[in-house]
Amino acid sequence: MSNESGASSGTSGVRRRGTVVGVPKRCWCGKIVVARMSKSEANPYRRYYRAYAVERKLSNDNHSYKWVDEALADEIEILGMRTERLEQQNQIANLELEKLRFEKEILEKVGGVVGEAKSELKKLMVIVALGCLSIVVCSRLIG
């Protein structure tokens, strides 16, 4: 914990090679990233993520580091976007469910109408059959 004083800028927490959204897990070199505390005058006690067991100054090497507060702010932003997306998907799902319910209702109504039409048709066919029968019977009686 001796050479951690190189961090001079308080605004640029992400290096080019180590650009990671949210909390970094590993450095580009493969080392696990750990949280450490800055001892620089510019950022005293500010915590940052850095490849484990890299002891060179932050400003002098390529090993990624990222301020913990910025990483956590990223995470919060990511969670916010995920939540928003989930809410949108939920809205779409609700709309589709409503559409399905509406279609089911229509199908039930149509089914009911078709059923009524069928029974009407049956009645009509019975009447027609009786009519035909009576015509036949009448023509035999007459003829």
Binding site for Zn ion (CB under 5 A): 27, 29, 31, 51, 63
The pair of structure tokens assigned to 97 is: 């469910």
End-to-end CA separation in angstroms for the chain: 124
Residue with Cβ nearer Zn ion (29 or 95) = 29
50 close to 5: Cβ distance less than 8 angstroms: no
Residue with Cβ nearer Zn ion (32 or 127) = 32
CB of 8 vs Zn ion, minimal distance in Å: 19
Amino acid, res. 8: S
The pair of structure tokens assigned to 75 is: 């995470």
8 close to 61: Cβ distance less than 8 angstroms: no
CB of 45 vs Zn ion, minimal distance in Å: 23
CB of 3 vs Zn ion, minimal distance in Å: 15
Residue with Cβ nearer Zn ion (29 or 93) = 29
